[in-house]
Amino acid sequence: MLGGVEIPHDAHAVGHSDADVLLHAVTDAVLGAAGLGDIGQMFPDTDPANRGRDSAEMLTAAYARVGQAGWRLINLDCTVFAESPKLGPHRDAICRRIAGLLDTPPDRINLKAKTAEALGPIGQKEAIAAECIVLLENETN
């Protein structure tokens, strides 16, 4: 799973929840931009209820909290660092899925994919990483 979309591949991420690295990064970005902590505070890995949890469910709950605090998404820019799988063929589906989870038009979501040119854990296909930058607007001001 990446960005809430099942991507065919011969390997899978390992994590406490479903290990969707992109949705975890989006969740951290929206919580952080609103000053509401991070995914580990909201969904601690010490809570058995979070074992195997759907990252889409976590993002939806986190974004609901962001909305309750008066914030709304303006745009989201994501970068996934992975040697494989190639994300180009899945880019639009991932953007649409994230847009749906954030109840925003897909054109407000951007996704870039970068490789590590065979260097380090990412380049050796031992790891995958994601970084996201989000712009929120406070509707209460």
Left (φ > 0), alpha (ψ -120 to 50) or beta: where does 30 sit?
A: alpha
pLDDT digits (tens, 9 = 90+) for 76-108: 999 999 988 888 899 999 999 999 999 999 999
Per-residue pLDDT band for 13 (boundaries 50, 70, 90) equals low
Whether 50 and 42 have beta carbons less than 8 Å apart is answered as no
**Which of 18, 12, 32 is CA-nearest to residue 131?**
32
Q: Residue 138 pairs with which residues in a beta bridge?
A: 71
Work out the pLDDT band at 123, boundaries 50, 70, 90: confident
Residue with tokens 């290990």: 19
Contacting residues for 21 by C-beta, under 8 A, at least 6 apart? 2, 13, 15, 80, 128, 129, 130
The DSSP output letter for 16 is S
For domain 21-138, give the CATH number. 3.30.1330.50
Q: Higher pLDDT residue, 16 or 86?
A: 86
